[in-house]
Amino acid sequence: MINMSRLAGYSRQDIRNIVLLLKQAYQTSNLTINYQSRPVVLFLGTLISTFGLGVVFTIRSALNKYKEHVTNRRLNRPNLIRQSSTVLKNGSREILIPKGKNSFTRIIIPKPSLDQYAADKYLYKDFVTQQKYLQKTIFNSKFLNQIAIIWRILIPKFNNKNTSLLLSQCFFLILRTWLSLLVAKLDGQLVKNLIGGNGKKFARDLIYWLLIAFPASYTNAAIKYLENRLALSFRTNLTRYIHDMYLDNVMAYYKISLNGSDIENIDQYITNDVTRFCESICGLFSSMGKPFVDLIFFSVYLRDNLGTGAIVGIFTNYFITAMLLKKATPKFGKLSSEKTHLEGQYFNQHLNLMTNSEEIGFYKGSVIEKTKLSESFGRLYKHLGKETNISFYYSVLEDYVLKYTWSAWGYIFAGLPVFLDELWPADKKDQSEKSKEVNQRQNMRQFIINKRLMLSLADAGSRLMYSIKDVSELTGYTERVFNLLTQLHKVHSPRFDFGSELGIKDIRGTIQKNYQNGIRFEHIPVIIPSKEGSENEPLIKDLSFLVSHNKNLLILGANGCGKTSIARIIAGLWPLYRGLLSKPDDDDIFYLPQKAYFTTGNLRDQIIYPHSYSDMLEMGYNDDYLYHILREVKLEYLLKREGNFNVVKDWKDVLSGGEKQRMSLARVLFKKPKLVILDESTNAVSTDVEDYLFELLQRKSITFITLSHRPLLMKYHDYIMEIDQEETKFHDLTSEENLKSIDNEINDIQAKLSQVEKWEKRLADIELYLDGKYDDIKEPQVDNSKKPMIGV
């Protein structure tokens, strides 16, 4: 009931307005929602699907935890700071990642197909030849051909997880475009109801707006999520593919520096460039896929409202603009590639400073290192400034054309139906004021819809134009990743078969493995790998020797004569150009290089390297056995000094030079090889410790080849080979002839030593004579006929 006394002060028009507001409020209070409408169905569908996915992921997580629990009970392994991978019987790799106390996450990486790598090798090998041939065709794109080859790695087969991620992203891209159409229609309906003063419909459509906002926001988040997941999955596939070739028994990580490639800072290629490539290609798919779908959907809808001519005009404008921007677009791919290269140089300059900080400190080399860093940063700064200037001018042109020019055309085409209806109405005489008002509201609604769609269409076209820059940057990343894969395939050969185009050619040597009678060299030249190949000047022209089993060899020579090069040939690091090399199996040979290497990890990892903790357990060893090894090399005090086997430190800085060499010998005792090659491996320990270590190897019946410049080590060896000016002299220290020559040399030395007193007396007499003390000279008690004459 309305109190009439309170309305006394209001005019009649104010009372009418109040009644109208109350009426609208009453209509709003009786608002009815159509539960079969699209906004409601989409909102409920999104909620139900989200709940269903949550249930599925919860069940899967529970199953994974159960499998992990079963795996942990089966393994019964202690929780370590670092857990390495294990190769299973089927060739797959098992990685156990610690999650907590006695809890692991088990990841299985399938065994790589060597046949696949061999087949892919020809794709990269023949790429340059194919490009020369395809240049004569009408349509050819080096970038698209490179992407097509790399795509085999990103999605190796159709029933792959990446395929489902890609298809899911396509689905959500189409769904987002369809939702954009619904939002545009709903936006026009809201404006129509607002102008018409229909509060009930306005409130209903506002509720629809809030409901449809949830699936629209969910779709946008899903597209971003799928883009990130796809980029991570692409990176995983590509990184595993690279690691399988880069880090295997073929040792491509070492050979890639010998093949004359233009790859510098390969770590940046594998980490930074692969990441940027995967993120760029997934981002480009999303940034180009959504505008492309928008162009199709919005064009079809606008064609019904604006006509075919308007759509033709719009796309003509897009085409002309694209041609102009393409000509005006700088070479962003080349700029990005050069920027990445300069960033790698600057990063590695810092890395070199951190790695060798102590040596630089001893030399007081701060000034020269600062100069090098400044020069490296100066080149990077100059390039970044150039790239910034180029991007500025291009951005001005791009924004003016795409944002404002296209928007102006959008307003023109969106307003054409309205202006045409005003100029040529259907029936001007029969139009009443009410019908005109209805037409105005209808035109306003249609203009809002057309305007929103035109702006969306312009935005889609502008994003396609913006993607030209993204494509150019992706071209640079693709070029670097493809170059990396090409070089890896070239060096991924056990016989250094890189091809004549790299200069490493004429590799005709033969390697005989599983040789049980020791090690044998037959007419082998020691040549440093280079572009000249076998034509390069050899360090040793013709090397031939035979070391029998359980016999030890000492190779003597000055620095740079080729001692370490012999070890490189035995290990397979250098190619065998000619001759025959017979050696035991690679698993039976252990190498100790001049510079001892210490991996990231605990003290246990340093002893068992290159084995993992899982390997040690499978071999039946434990920490007590490692303590026994440390005691044998006189390093047991490290446990007391450092704590225990699980302590993680930077061991290359913690251990002294002598401790590093004794730790290397501890690895030999753990490995128990048939043959060990020692390259200056005892020059940092004292003489008594050196004697003890060589005697320890002899007691363990481990055959060793020692590379050194110290002849005193021959007492531990059976053979000695001297390298002098490209010539070699081989001696058997155990032969009867050599023993006789040694005995004769000993007799000669003893005979000379027996004359020491006589020559000392003679020296004293000469000194007295020179001082003029003739009277003090005592005549020697010898025969006068043999008396020496002094003076003239």
Q: Which DSSP string do the residues of 252-285 spell out, in sequence order?
A: HHHHTTTTT-----HHHIIIIIHHHHHHHHHHHH
Residue 386, domain member (yes or no): yes
Residues 6+ apart with CB under 8 A from 595: none
Residues 533 and 478 occupy one common structural domain: no
Pair (320, 419) in one structural domain = yes
Residue that wins the pLDDT comparison between 443 and 223: 223
Confirm whether 372 is domain-assigned. yes
Contacts of 641 (CB under 8 A, 6+ apart): none
Q: Are residues 452 and 563 in the same domain?
A: no
Of 354 and 773, the structure prediction assigns the larger pLDDT to: 354
Query: Which of 445-454, 601-610, 767-776 tops mean pLDDT?
Result: 601-610
Q: How confident is the model at residue 612 (pLDDT cuts 50, 70, 90)?
A: confident
Rounded to whole angstroms, what are the CA distances from 61 to 67, 105, 160, 538? Answer: 10, 12, 21, 62
pLDDT digit string (tens) for 41-73?
777 777 787 777 777 777 877 776 676 666 555
If pLDDT is split at 50, 70 and 90, which confidence band does 472 have?
A: confident
39-53, 123-137, 650-664, 695-709: which range is least confident on average?
123-137
The verdict on residue 668 lying in a domain is: yes
Whether 380 and 403 map to the same domain: the answer is yes
- Count Cβ atoms within 10 A of the Cβ of residue 652 and give its class: 0-12 exposed, 13-18 middle, 19 or more buried: middle
Of the candidates 599, 596, 606, 595, the residue with the CA atom closest to the CA atom of residue 630: 606
φ and ψ of 387, to 5 deg: -65, -35
Query: Which of 196 and 602 is assigned the larger pLDDT?
Result: 602
Amino acid at 362: F
Q: Is the pLDDT of residue 169 over 60?
A: yes
Give the range with max mean pLDDT: 183-192, 195-204, 276-285.
276-285
Buried b (16+ CB within 10 A) or exposed e, 51-70: eeeeeeeeeeeeeeeeebee
Confidence of residue 139 (pLDDT cuts 50, 70, 90): very low
**Rounded (10°) CA dihedral 378, 382, 384, 387:** -170
Residue with tokens 């896929």: 289
279 shares its domain with 318:
yes
Instruction: Evaluate whether residue 407 is within a structural domain.
Output: yes
The pLDDT-based confidence of 787 (bands split at 50, 70, 90) is very low
- Using the Cα atoms of residue 640, residue 646, residue 649 and residue 650 in order, give the sign of their dihedral: positive
- pLDDT over 90 (residue 174): no
The one-letter code for the residue type at 408 is: A
Residue that terminates a domain, selected from 491, 518, 539: 491
| Residue 273 within a domain | yes
pLDDT score at 778: 60
Domain boundary among the residues 458, 491, 524 is at 491
Exposed/middle/buried for 5, CB within 10 Å: 0-12, 13-18, 19+?
A: exposed
The closest of 60, 101, 108, 97 to 79, measured between CA atoms, is: 101
pLDDT of 520 > 50? The answer is yes
For residues 252 and 431, is the Cβ–Cβ distance under 8 A?
no
> Given its phi and psi angles, is residue 150 left (phi above 0), alpha (psi -120 to 50 degrees) or beta?
alpha
For residue 608, name the pLDDT band (cuts at 50, 70, 90): very high
CB contact set of 701 (below 8 Å; sequence gap of 6+): 550
Same domain, 450 and 588: no
Calpha distance 198→208 (Å, rounded): 15
Q: Number of structural domains, the chain?
A: 3
Q: Does the pLDDT at position 208 exceed 70?
A: yes
Is the pLDDT at 28 greater than 60? The verdict is: no
Looking at residue 790, its pLDDT comes to 37
Check pLDDT > 60 for residue 499. no
Residue 487 lies in a domain: yes
Q: Greater confidence, 607 or 764?
A: 607
Specify whether 447 is located in the same domain as 423.
Answer: yes
Same domain, 459 and 480: yes
Residues 469 and 516 in one domain: no
pLDDT at residue 344, rounded to an integer: 78
- Give the structural domain span for 355: 247-491
| Secondary structure tally for the chain: helices H, strands E | 26, 15
Q: Which residues 6+ apart lie within 8 Å of 315 measured at CB?
A: 299
Residue 547 lies in a domain: yes
CATH for 571: 3.40.50.300
Q: Note whether 429 and 541 are same-domain residues.
A: no
CB hemisphere CA count around 377 (13 angstroms): 7
Same domain, 712 and 752: no
Query: Does a structural domain hold residue 619?
Result: no
Name the 3-class secondary structure at 514. Answer: coil
Is the model's pLDDT at 445 over the cut of 60? no
Residue 681 makes CB contacts below 8 A (sequence gap 6+) with 592, 594, 661, 664, 665, 706
Same domain, 732 and 759: no
Predicted local confidence at residue 694, as pLDDT: 92
Query: 3-state DSSP: the chain helix, strand, coil percent, rounded to 5?
Result: 65, 10, 25
What is the pLDDT of the chain when averaged over all its residues? 76
